[in-house]
Structure 1
Amino acid sequence: MSDLVTGEDGLARPVWAASDPLLREYYDTEWGMPVRDERGLFERLSLEAFQSGLSWATILRKRPAFRAAFADFDPDAVAAFDDDDVTRLMADAGIVRNRRKVDATIANARATVALRADGGLPAFVWSFQPADTPRPRFSAEVPTTSPGSVALARALKARGFRHVGPTTMFALMEAVGIVDTHLVGSHRRASSGVWPDC
Protein backbone atom coordinates (compact mmCIF):
# COMPACT_ATOMS: atom_id res chain seq x y z
CA MET A 1 0.00 0.00 0.00
CA SER A 2 1.15 3.53 -0.74
CA ASP A 3 -0.13 7.09 -0.83
CA LEU A 4 1.43 7.47 -4.28
CA VAL A 5 -0.53 7.54 -7.52
CA THR A 6 1.11 6.51 -10.77
CA GLY A 7 -0.01 8.78 -13.58
CA GLU A 8 -0.51 8.03 -17.25
CA ASP A 9 3.08 9.19 -17.74
CA GLY A 10 4.28 6.38 -15.44
CA LEU A 11 5.45 8.79 -12.74
CA ALA A 12 4.51 8.32 -9.08
CA ARG A 13 3.16 11.35 -7.22
CA PRO A 14 1.35 11.90 -3.91
CA VAL A 15 -2.42 12.11 -4.06
CA TRP A 16 -2.42 15.92 -3.65
CA ALA A 17 -0.37 16.33 -6.84
CA ALA A 18 -1.93 13.57 -8.92
CA SER A 19 -5.11 15.03 -10.40
CA ASP A 20 -5.14 18.85 -10.56
CA PRO A 21 -2.96 19.88 -13.53
CA LEU A 22 -1.81 23.07 -11.76
CA LEU A 23 -0.72 21.18 -8.64
CA ARG A 24 0.91 18.46 -10.73
CA GLU A 25 2.96 21.02 -12.66
CA TYR A 26 3.96 22.75 -9.42
CA TYR A 27 4.95 19.43 -7.85
CA ASP A 28 6.89 18.25 -10.90
CA THR A 29 8.84 21.43 -11.54
CA GLU A 30 9.00 23.64 -8.46
CA TRP A 31 8.02 22.22 -5.07
CA GLY A 32 11.05 21.11 -3.11
CA MET A 33 13.60 22.63 -5.47
CA PRO A 34 16.20 24.92 -3.87
CA VAL A 35 15.34 28.62 -3.74
CA ARG A 36 18.38 30.65 -2.71
CA ASP A 37 17.65 34.16 -4.01
CA GLU A 38 16.14 36.91 -1.92
CA ARG A 39 13.15 37.71 -4.11
CA GLY A 40 12.30 34.05 -4.57
CA LEU A 41 12.43 33.37 -0.86
CA PHE A 42 10.45 36.50 -0.02
CA GLU A 43 7.75 35.41 -2.48
CA ARG A 44 7.57 31.89 -1.02
CA LEU A 45 7.52 33.26 2.53
CA SER A 46 4.69 35.62 1.60
CA LEU A 47 2.62 33.01 -0.22
CA GLU A 48 3.01 30.48 2.59
CA ALA A 49 1.68 33.10 5.01
CA PHE A 50 -1.28 33.85 2.74
CA GLN A 51 -1.96 30.11 2.38
CA SER A 52 -2.50 29.65 6.12
CA GLY A 53 -6.05 28.33 6.48
CA LEU A 54 -6.54 27.95 2.73
CA SER A 55 -5.68 25.36 0.09
CA TRP A 56 -2.38 25.65 -1.76
CA ALA A 57 -4.30 25.30 -5.04
CA THR A 58 -6.13 28.55 -4.21
CA ILE A 59 -2.83 30.35 -3.70
CA LEU A 60 -1.30 28.96 -6.90
CA ARG A 61 -4.31 30.06 -8.94
CA LYS A 62 -3.99 33.57 -7.47
CA ARG A 63 -0.20 33.69 -7.81
CA PRO A 64 -0.15 35.88 -10.95
CA ALA A 65 -2.45 38.37 -9.22
CA PHE A 66 -0.29 38.28 -6.08
CA ARG A 67 2.79 39.02 -8.17
CA ALA A 68 1.08 41.94 -9.88
CA ALA A 69 -0.27 43.32 -6.59
CA PHE A 70 3.02 42.99 -4.70
CA ALA A 71 5.42 44.38 -7.32
CA ASP A 72 6.61 40.89 -8.30
CA PHE A 73 7.65 40.46 -4.65
CA ASP A 74 10.52 42.92 -4.93
CA PRO A 75 11.33 43.45 -1.23
CA ASP A 76 12.45 47.07 -1.75
CA ALA A 77 9.23 47.96 -3.56
CA VAL A 78 6.96 46.23 -1.04
CA ALA A 79 8.88 47.73 1.89
CA ALA A 80 7.91 51.17 0.54
CA PHE A 81 4.17 50.38 0.43
CA ASP A 82 2.03 52.90 2.33
CA ASP A 83 -1.59 53.23 3.44
CA ASP A 84 -2.73 53.85 -0.14
CA ASP A 85 -1.14 50.56 -1.17
CA VAL A 86 -2.88 48.74 1.68
CA THR A 87 -6.21 50.22 0.53
CA ARG A 88 -5.45 49.10 -3.03
CA LEU A 89 -4.54 45.58 -1.88
CA MET A 90 -7.65 45.22 0.25
CA ALA A 91 -9.77 46.12 -2.79
CA ASP A 92 -8.00 43.62 -5.07
CA ALA A 93 -10.30 40.63 -5.58
CA GLY A 94 -7.49 38.74 -7.32
CA ILE A 95 -5.59 38.14 -4.08
CA VAL A 96 -6.50 36.97 -0.59
CA ARG A 97 -7.83 40.10 1.08
CA ASN A 98 -6.77 39.55 4.65
CA ARG A 99 -5.58 42.73 6.36
CA ARG A 100 -3.38 40.91 8.86
CA LYS A 101 -1.60 38.99 6.08
CA VAL A 102 -1.25 42.09 3.89
CA ASP A 103 0.28 44.02 6.80
CA ALA A 104 2.57 41.08 7.58
CA THR A 105 3.82 40.94 3.98
CA ILE A 106 4.77 44.62 4.06
CA ALA A 107 6.43 44.22 7.47
CA ASN A 108 8.28 41.15 6.19
CA ALA A 109 9.55 43.08 3.18
CA ARG A 110 10.99 45.70 5.52
CA ALA A 111 12.51 42.97 7.70
CA THR A 112 13.99 41.33 4.59
CA VAL A 113 15.66 44.59 3.57
CA ALA A 114 16.99 45.09 7.11
CA LEU A 115 18.37 41.54 7.18
CA ARG A 116 20.77 42.34 4.33
CA ALA A 117 23.10 43.93 6.87
CA ASP A 118 23.56 40.47 8.42
CA GLY A 119 23.98 38.38 5.29
CA GLY A 120 20.47 38.47 3.86
CA LEU A 121 17.31 36.36 3.93
CA PRO A 122 18.62 33.37 1.92
CA ALA A 123 21.66 32.77 4.12
CA PHE A 124 19.52 33.29 7.22
CA VAL A 125 16.77 30.85 6.23
CA TRP A 126 19.16 28.21 4.86
CA SER A 127 21.19 28.30 8.08
CA PHE A 128 18.33 26.30 9.60
CA GLN A 129 18.84 23.35 7.26
CA PRO A 130 18.87 20.26 9.51
CA ALA A 131 21.47 17.51 9.50
CA ASP A 132 18.91 15.02 8.17
CA THR A 133 15.60 15.03 6.33
CA PRO A 134 12.40 13.03 6.84
CA ARG A 135 11.87 9.87 4.80
CA PRO A 136 8.07 9.54 4.75
CA ARG A 137 6.52 6.53 3.03
CA PHE A 138 2.96 7.72 3.63
CA SER A 139 1.36 11.16 3.81
CA ALA A 140 0.58 10.62 7.49
CA GLU A 141 4.32 10.36 8.14
CA VAL A 142 5.06 13.83 6.75
CA PRO A 143 5.70 16.17 9.70
CA THR A 144 4.00 19.54 9.97
CA THR A 145 6.70 21.09 12.15
CA SER A 146 10.25 20.31 13.17
CA PRO A 147 12.79 21.60 15.68
CA GLY A 148 14.29 23.55 12.77
CA SER A 149 11.00 25.18 11.79
CA VAL A 150 10.35 26.12 15.43
CA ALA A 151 13.80 27.69 15.66
CA LEU A 152 13.43 29.44 12.29
CA ALA A 153 10.05 30.88 13.27
CA ARG A 154 11.46 32.17 16.55
CA ALA A 155 14.51 33.69 14.86
CA LEU A 156 12.46 35.39 12.12
CA LYS A 157 10.05 36.86 14.68
CA ALA A 158 13.03 38.26 16.58
CA ARG A 159 14.05 39.99 13.34
CA GLY A 160 10.63 41.62 12.91
CA PHE A 161 8.95 39.06 10.63
CA ARG A 162 5.27 38.32 11.14
CA HIS A 163 2.93 35.43 10.35
CA VAL A 164 5.88 33.02 10.41
CA GLY A 165 4.75 30.28 12.80
CA PRO A 166 6.47 26.86 13.00
CA THR A 167 3.93 25.13 10.72
CA THR A 168 4.14 27.85 8.07
CA MET A 169 7.93 27.79 8.28
CA PHE A 170 8.03 24.01 7.90
CA ALA A 171 5.91 24.37 4.76
CA LEU A 172 8.42 26.96 3.53
CA MET A 173 11.32 24.62 4.28
CA GLU A 174 9.60 21.88 2.26
CA ALA A 175 8.77 24.20 -0.63
CA VAL A 176 12.29 25.61 -1.04
CA GLY A 177 14.20 22.34 -0.61
CA ILE A 178 15.62 22.79 2.89
CA VAL A 179 14.01 19.47 3.77
CA ASP A 180 12.84 16.74 1.38
CA THR A 181 9.40 15.42 2.28
CA HIS A 182 8.64 13.84 -1.08
CA LEU A 183 7.27 10.39 -0.31
CA VAL A 184 9.73 7.55 -0.73
CA GLY A 185 8.96 6.15 -4.19
CA SER A 186 7.90 9.48 -5.68
CA HIS A 187 9.66 10.40 -8.91
CA ARG A 188 10.72 13.65 -7.23
CA ARG A 189 12.37 12.11 -4.15
CA ALA A 190 15.98 13.35 -3.85
CA SER A 191 15.63 15.36 -7.08
CA SER A 192 16.65 18.70 -5.54
CA GLY A 193 20.31 17.84 -5.14
CA VAL A 194 20.19 19.02 -1.52
CA TRP A 195 19.54 15.50 -0.19
CA PRO A 196 21.01 13.22 -2.88
CA ASP A 197 21.18 10.14 -0.64
CA CYS A 198 17.72 10.30 0.88
Structure 2
Amino acid sequence: MSLLKNFSVFSIICITLCFPISTNAAHFDIRNNCGFKVWAAAVPGGGRQLNSGESWPLDVSNITTGGRIWARTGCNFDGAGRGVCQTGDCGGVLQCQGHGLPPNTLAEYALNQFNNLDFFDISLVDGFNVPMDFSPTDNGCTGGIQCTADINGQCPNELKAQGGCNNPCTVFKTDQYCCNNSGSCGPTDFSRFFKD
Protein backbone atom coordinates (compact mmCIF):
# COMPACT_ATOMS: atom_id res chain seq x y z
CA MET A 1 0.00 0.00 0.00
CA SER A 2 1.41 3.38 -0.94
CA LEU A 3 1.61 6.21 1.51
CA LEU A 4 -0.59 8.45 -0.61
CA LYS A 5 -3.82 7.74 -2.43
CA ASN A 6 -5.59 10.47 -4.38
CA PHE A 7 -9.18 10.76 -5.43
CA SER A 8 -11.17 13.57 -6.85
CA VAL A 9 -14.85 14.29 -6.88
CA PHE A 10 -15.90 16.62 -9.62
CA SER A 11 -19.20 18.22 -10.40
CA ILE A 12 -19.45 18.79 -14.09
CA ILE A 13 -21.68 21.81 -13.66
CA CYS A 14 -21.39 22.79 -10.06
CA ILE A 15 -19.02 21.21 -7.61
CA THR A 16 -15.68 19.46 -7.94
CA LEU A 17 -14.19 17.42 -5.15
CA CYS A 18 -10.70 15.93 -5.16
CA PHE A 19 -9.09 13.99 -2.38
CA PRO A 20 -5.75 12.31 -1.85
CA ILE A 21 -5.62 9.86 1.02
CA SER A 22 -2.51 9.14 3.05
CA THR A 23 -1.85 7.06 6.11
CA ASN A 24 -2.46 10.23 8.15
CA ALA A 25 -5.29 11.94 6.31
CA ALA A 26 -7.52 12.18 3.28
CA HIS A 27 -7.27 15.35 1.24
CA PHE A 28 -10.26 16.53 -0.79
CA ASP A 29 -10.13 19.31 -3.34
CA ILE A 30 -13.71 20.49 -3.71
CA ARG A 31 -14.15 22.64 -6.82
CA ASN A 32 -17.15 24.59 -8.05
CA ASN A 33 -17.40 24.12 -11.82
CA CYS A 34 -20.86 25.70 -11.95
CA GLY A 35 -21.56 29.05 -13.46
CA PHE A 36 -23.03 30.11 -10.11
CA LYS A 37 -22.16 30.16 -6.42
CA VAL A 38 -22.55 27.00 -4.28
CA TRP A 39 -21.93 26.34 -0.61
CA ALA A 40 -19.93 23.13 -0.36
CA ALA A 41 -20.62 20.96 2.68
CA ALA A 42 -18.78 18.02 4.20
CA VAL A 43 -19.33 15.78 7.20
CA PRO A 44 -16.78 15.65 8.61
CA GLY A 45 -15.37 18.97 7.47
CA GLY A 46 -17.88 21.81 7.76
CA GLY A 47 -18.71 24.07 4.85
CA ARG A 48 -17.59 26.92 2.67
CA GLN A 49 -18.96 29.27 0.03
CA LEU A 50 -17.44 28.66 -3.40
CA ASN A 51 -17.85 31.07 -6.26
CA SER A 52 -17.62 29.65 -9.77
CA GLY A 53 -14.10 28.24 -10.35
CA GLU A 54 -13.08 28.33 -6.67
CA SER A 55 -11.72 25.34 -4.74
CA TRP A 56 -11.80 24.28 -1.11
CA PRO A 57 -8.94 22.05 0.12
CA LEU A 58 -10.29 19.82 2.88
CA ASP A 59 -8.23 17.43 5.00
CA VAL A 60 -9.91 14.61 6.92
CA SER A 61 -8.00 12.66 9.58
CA ASN A 62 -7.31 8.97 9.20
CA ILE A 63 -9.54 8.34 12.20
CA THR A 64 -12.46 9.10 9.91
CA THR A 65 -13.68 5.99 8.15
CA GLY A 66 -16.34 7.59 6.00
CA GLY A 67 -18.15 10.75 5.14
CA ARG A 68 -20.30 12.77 2.78
CA ILE A 69 -19.69 15.81 0.60
CA TRP A 70 -22.44 17.75 -1.16
CA ALA A 71 -23.29 21.13 -2.68
CA ARG A 72 -25.85 23.45 -1.15
CA THR A 73 -27.61 25.99 -3.33
CA GLY A 74 -29.60 29.15 -2.74
CA CYS A 75 -27.97 29.89 0.62
CA ASN A 76 -28.00 33.09 2.64
CA PHE A 77 -25.76 33.28 5.72
CA ASP A 78 -25.08 36.14 8.11
CA GLY A 79 -21.64 37.11 9.44
CA ALA A 80 -21.94 34.50 12.20
CA GLY A 81 -22.51 31.70 9.67
CA ARG A 82 -26.22 31.27 10.43
CA GLY A 83 -28.81 31.14 7.68
CA VAL A 84 -30.67 28.81 5.36
CA CYS A 85 -30.13 27.01 2.04
CA GLN A 86 -32.67 26.13 -0.63
CA THR A 87 -31.09 22.66 -1.13
CA GLY A 88 -28.81 20.62 1.13
CA ASP A 89 -29.33 22.77 4.24
CA CYS A 90 -27.63 21.36 7.35
CA GLY A 91 -29.33 22.92 10.34
CA GLY A 92 -29.08 26.51 9.19
CA VAL A 93 -25.30 26.81 9.60
CA LEU A 94 -22.43 27.35 7.18
CA GLN A 95 -20.19 24.87 9.06
CA CYS A 96 -22.18 21.64 8.73
CA GLN A 97 -22.06 19.21 11.64
CA GLY A 98 -24.85 16.95 10.34
CA HIS A 99 -26.18 15.68 7.02
CA GLY A 100 -27.95 17.97 4.59
CA LEU A 101 -31.67 18.02 3.99
CA PRO A 102 -32.98 16.70 0.67
CA PRO A 103 -32.70 17.36 -2.13
CA ASN A 104 -28.93 17.08 -2.54
CA THR A 105 -26.55 15.00 -4.64
CA LEU A 106 -24.13 13.14 -2.36
CA ALA A 107 -20.52 12.11 -2.80
CA GLU A 108 -19.89 9.36 -0.24
CA TYR A 109 -16.63 7.70 0.76
CA ALA A 110 -15.44 4.92 3.06
CA LEU A 111 -11.71 4.79 3.81
CA ASN A 112 -9.41 1.92 4.76
CA GLN A 113 -12.11 -0.72 4.58
CA PHE A 114 -11.71 -4.43 3.73
CA ASN A 115 -8.06 -5.09 2.69
CA ASN A 116 -7.32 -1.36 3.25
CA LEU A 117 -9.41 -0.47 0.22
CA ASP A 118 -11.21 2.85 -0.19
CA PHE A 119 -14.71 3.05 -1.64
CA PHE A 120 -16.57 6.01 -3.12
CA ASP A 121 -19.88 6.64 -4.83
CA ILE A 122 -22.36 9.27 -5.90
CA SER A 123 -25.73 8.73 -4.28
CA LEU A 124 -29.19 10.06 -5.07
CA VAL A 125 -30.67 8.67 -1.85
CA ASP A 126 -31.38 12.28 -0.82
CA GLY A 127 -32.54 13.36 -4.27
CA PHE A 128 -30.59 15.56 -6.67
CA ASN A 129 -29.58 19.21 -6.85
CA VAL A 130 -26.33 19.49 -8.90
CA PRO A 131 -24.43 17.24 -11.34
CA MET A 132 -21.29 15.71 -9.85
CA ASP A 133 -18.13 13.85 -10.88
CA PHE A 134 -16.06 11.87 -8.33
CA SER A 135 -12.68 10.63 -9.58
CA PRO A 136 -9.40 9.39 -8.11
CA THR A 137 -6.34 11.43 -9.03
CA ASP A 138 -3.48 9.01 -8.34
CA ASN A 139 -2.34 5.68 -6.85
CA GLY A 140 -3.08 3.85 -10.08
CA CYS A 141 -6.87 4.17 -9.80
CA THR A 142 -8.26 6.00 -12.80
CA GLY A 143 -11.95 5.10 -12.82
CA GLY A 144 -14.24 7.86 -11.66
CA ILE A 145 -18.00 8.15 -11.57
CA GLN A 146 -20.36 10.84 -12.77
CA CYS A 147 -23.96 11.84 -12.32
CA THR A 148 -24.45 14.48 -14.98
CA ALA A 149 -27.98 13.96 -16.32
CA ASP A 150 -30.48 16.82 -16.34
CA ILE A 151 -32.40 15.37 -13.41
CA ASN A 152 -33.80 18.72 -12.25
CA GLY A 153 -35.12 19.52 -15.74
CA GLN A 154 -36.75 16.09 -16.14
CA CYS A 155 -37.91 15.66 -12.54
CA PRO A 156 -41.46 14.25 -12.23
CA ASN A 157 -43.89 16.93 -11.00
CA GLU A 158 -44.57 14.99 -7.79
CA LEU A 159 -40.86 15.12 -6.84
CA LYS A 160 -39.99 18.67 -7.92
CA ALA A 161 -38.55 20.93 -5.24
CA GLN A 162 -37.19 24.46 -5.35
CA GLY A 163 -33.66 24.02 -6.74
CA GLY A 164 -33.75 20.23 -7.04
CA CYS A 165 -35.55 16.92 -7.36
CA ASN A 166 -36.57 15.04 -4.20
CA ASN A 167 -36.37 11.32 -3.75
CA PRO A 168 -39.78 9.59 -3.45
CA CYS A 169 -39.29 8.69 0.23
CA THR A 170 -38.88 12.36 1.18
CA VAL A 171 -42.14 13.22 -0.58
CA PHE A 172 -44.41 10.23 0.13
CA LYS A 173 -42.93 8.85 3.41
CA THR A 174 -44.35 5.36 2.85
CA ASP A 175 -42.76 1.90 3.00
CA GLN A 176 -43.33 1.54 -0.73
CA TYR A 177 -40.83 4.34 -1.38
CA CYS A 178 -38.69 4.31 1.78
CA CYS A 179 -38.05 0.54 2.06
CA ASN A 180 -38.13 0.66 5.86
CA ASN A 181 -37.88 -2.86 7.26
CA SER A 182 -41.08 -3.86 5.48
CA GLY A 183 -39.30 -6.25 3.15
CA SER A 184 -41.99 -5.65 0.54
CA CYS A 185 -40.67 -2.64 -1.33
CA GLY A 186 -39.41 -2.96 -4.86
CA PRO A 187 -38.73 -0.82 -7.91
CA THR A 188 -41.27 1.91 -8.65
CA ASP A 189 -41.68 4.28 -11.57
CA PHE A 190 -40.02 6.97 -9.42
CA SER A 191 -37.01 4.81 -8.51
CA ARG A 192 -36.61 3.87 -12.16
CA PHE A 193 -36.50 7.57 -13.04
CA PHE A 194 -33.36 8.02 -10.92
CA LYS A 195 -31.72 4.91 -12.41
CA ASP A 196 -32.33 5.83 -16.07
Q: Same fold (TM over 0.5)?
A: no
Higher percent of residues as strand: 2
Per the shorter chain, which TM-score range?
under 0.3
Higher percent of residues as helix: 1
* Bigger RCO (CA 8 Å, 6+ sep): 1
